[in-house]
Amino acid sequence: MVDTENLYDVVIIGGGPAGLSAAIYLTRAKYRVLILEKEQFGGQITITHEVVNYPGVGKCSGKDLTDTMYLQAEYFGADFLIAEATGLDLKEDVKIVHTNRGEFKCIGVLLATGAHPKMVGFKGEAEYRGRGVAYCATCDGEFFTGKEVFVIGGGFAAAEESIFLTKFANHVTILIRREDFSCAEAVAEQARSHEKITVITNTVVEEVKGENGLNYIRYKNRITEKITEYRAKEGENFGVFVFAGYAPETDLVKDIAELNEKGYIITDKSQKTSVNGLYAAGDICIKPLRQVVTAASDGALAATELEKYVAKVQERTGLRTKDPVIREKVFGDKAEKVPGGDNETQGDGFFSLEMRTQLETVFDKMENPLMLKLCLDNRPVSKELQKYITTLVKMTDKLLLEIVTDNSDEFLPYVKLYRDDIYTGLAFHGVPGGHEFTSFVLGMYNAAGPGQAMDEVIRKRIKGVEKQVDIKILVSLSCTMCPDLVIAAQHMAAIGEHITTEVYDIHHYESLKNKYKVMSVPCMVINDKHVYFGKKNIQQILEIVEEIVK
């Protein structure tokens, strides 16, 4: 017997425009839908500060556009969950989606996971990733304030992100492999005519290197073979941002569904894959144009086809799910539109309705109370943290608050989590807002129990770490890649007796940025001497830890 109480008609993996569009169509047609997203709802378009080509909208930011899509889907009854899909069982009528937060059953699956930035492959790219080589202007642009910046690429992202980088950089040089930009002329011309941008075409980067960051780059004209070397002034460094296209996020189905030679998933005209009940939409598909409007179109088409598929399975098997519940709020109320902003629906100025709903769910499941210990200084960030945590504690009897004095800690302010008067190993220095909100919530849940599901073999290995391991994670609240690393490392600290994970909003701790020569986030420092960059899962962190302590 199938538990229809916990059965979804469709699970959508990926919360960008394609997934959100599909959710709107499906829930409006009275299908029960769950959207899983491992980073942030809205997808990569959220880092675009200006969208002007989405029909009927005029001009808005990518985040505002997808926030509206989110609210539409939420209004019609879609369920949302921050979780990473780790496996699929698609052979039966009832499909199973395995995630790092449990299993979810459904009749149909829509894959809308998008794509991730490609590496170019020049000498030093991997070595200096996080130490001068970056892939996200929004996440890492501020680290290059007043510095020279080189951008590699000639597409839409390269042109637009170069313009964005001029807000921070002293000057931006765009290095294009081809004879010209490959994006829309309007966007290309903005980059060409910008007073702080120089465009060099027919050029490939051969090598970057340096000390305390990058201070040398060599590139070659592929027509004339002329070599150009640029060295920063003594004591200075520069940044290299790579925007060389994307690779599809199809690892989840690489041994399940048919892919092309570049890893993109193959679908028919109805977005159906080679697997019955599995559909795909957005940038993971083979398509000539990757834009928000085409992703939304894919999602709508896939949704209408999934409606037919689910209806046929229901008719044949008798399976029925609960109808989605339309939310008791008026869609279009702009006061609810921007999570984390100042609006009347929040009241406290910190937590939107979406956040409060997420918090209430976590508090209900927490097995043990936690003591949140605050240590403050006289800076404005301390006042903000105190208000933030005070507001949080007022929402439940599962949290208690204590303000302590710790003259030994130079990195104030912080909040540390205690259970039964014992330090859990979890702390946040700064204010855990922005993209770190969910990380902090999951950290509390893991510390209080029962916590997120975990493979028992992994759990035993974590518990088997008998030497002290102190993990620092340096983050930016605007970074979409930081939460994955934070969640994984904090989960390990909640389980491992000898593991601590303390998170630092690097914006407030210049000394840490200088000490570890950080020019990209997330940055993980283990026992104050082993430094790693980029997001990692529990398995990857555990392998690093085991190598260090053996």
Instruction: Yes or no: say if 175 and 516 are a contact pair by the CB < 8 Å rule.
Output: no
**Per-residue model confidence as pLDDT tens digits over 63-72:** 789 888 988 9
Please compute the mean of the pLDDT values over residues 201-222 and round it to a whole number: 94
Average pLDDT, the chain: 89
Q: Omega of the bond prior to 522 within 30 degrees of 0, cis?
A: yes
Is this structure's pTM higher than 0.75?
no
> Residue 512: pLDDT band by 50, 70, 90 thresholds?
very high
pLDDT at 334: 35
Distances (CA, A) of 518 to 8, 25, 68, 511: 44, 44, 35, 10
Residue 414 CA to residue 519 CA, distance in Å, equals: 23
Please, which residues have CB within 8 angstroms of residue 306's CB and are 6 or more apart in sequence? 9, 10, 22, 26, 31, 108, 110, 279
Q: Which of helix, strand or coil describes residue 389? A: helix
- Output the furthest CA–CA distance in the chain (Å, rounded): 74
Domains of the chain listed by start with CATH number: 4-116+250-334 (3.50.50.60), 133-244 (3.50.50.60), 339-549 (3.40.30.80)
Count of alpha carbons within 13 angstroms of residue 233, beta-carbon side: 2
Please compute the mean of the pLDDT values over residues 398-414 and round it to a whole number: 89
pLDDT at 356: 82
Distances (CA, A) of 58 to 47, 50, 190, 194: 18, 10, 19, 23
What is the Cα gyration radius of the chain?
Answer: 24
Instruction: Yes or no: say if 294 and 41 are a contact pair by the CB < 8 Å rule.
Output: no
Proportion of the chain above pLDDT 90, given as a percent: 64
Helix spans in 129-202 (H): 137-140, 156-165, 185-192
Residue 110 CA to residue 116 CA, distance in Å, equals: 18
Quick one: which H or E segment has residue 219?
Answer: strand 216-221
Nearest Cα neighbor of 181 from 138, 151, 208, 206 is: 151
pLDDT at 327: 56
Whether 354 has a pLDDT exceeding 80, the answer reads no
pLDDT at 33: 95
**Per-residue model confidence as pLDDT tens digits over 461-476:** 999 999 999 999 999 8
